[in-house]
Amino acid sequence: MVEEKEVKQQGNKIIFIYRIVVSIIMIVSIILVYILNNLGNSKEVGAMANNISNETNIIDNNNTIVEQVTSEESLRKLNDWKLILVNYENKMSEDYIPPLANIDNERQFDARAIDSLTQMILDMKAAGIKNIWAQSTYRSPEKQKRLIEESIQEYLEQGKTEEEARSLTLRGIEEPYRSEHNLGLAVDFNNVDNEFEDEPAFPWLVENAANYGFILRYPKDKEDITQIKYEPWHWRYVGPEYAKEMKDLGLCLEEYVEYLKNN
């Protein structure tokens, strides 16, 4: 009798647990049906699924986490090699080797953009701007380091402290792997000084460079964002699509990347 009673009690427990599980399943089913009904139809459900998928985190070219990017178009742009952001906050991979092509015996540029650079210079000369040349283009990280050391030494000889000399240097020359010149996508024109702003080439570039895919990388009114002093001679290739959009929006590269992340 005792064994029969224990068996009966165990059976009642199993039935009780079964009823709880069934109840939970029914409640979850009701909630799902309610949600689906409010979504309207399967097309809207699919759209929601796509949005959820696109809102997951991605890793951009600089190994930076980009959160909640909902636009597929923005994703495409952020992963484009032409928009690689290299600056004081974003260090390029030390393993990255740009595909280079020769401009002449001394200068190189990214092979995917070199035709745009050479054509832009040719068109400037055809427009009557004869005083134009590419002074500095691709620089190896090793050369970048030498330039920094030379600049610091010059400031030291002027009586600056070590800290002052380094700070002043880094306002104009980025550290190795943080310089666009290491990417092979930047070009410095002529004598690399502010007098370039007064030469005929500068207003021509302001007006036309975007058509060739180039932007003024360090504008005068964006120094607080780029952390680099105004450089009228320094232009960066980003491709015509992005250059024109950045020009229309009035954004520097840092701002444009953030704009894409939020749209």
Q: What is the DSSP string of 222-256?
A: GHHHH-S---TTEEEE--HHHHHHHHHHT--HHHH
Nearest alpha carbon to residue 218 among 254, 182, 243, 176: 254
Tokens of 206: 């302001």
Contact 58, 66 (CB under 8 A): yes
Which residues on neighbouring strands pair with residue 187, listed in sequence order? 235
231 is catalytic: yes
Instruction: Give dist(CA 16, CA 19) in Å, integer.
Output: 5
Q: How far is CA 118 from CA 26, 107, 168, in A?
A: 69, 12, 32
CB contact at 8 A, 151 and 164? no
- Where do we find the tokens 């139809």? 41
Helix (H) or strand (E) holding 108: strand 108-110
As to burial, measured by CB atoms within 10 angstroms (0-12 exposed, 13-18 middle, 19+ buried), residue 123 is middle
The amino acid sitting at 203 is P
Q: Which of 174, 180, 199, 231 is catalytic?
A: 231
The set of catalytic residues is: 231
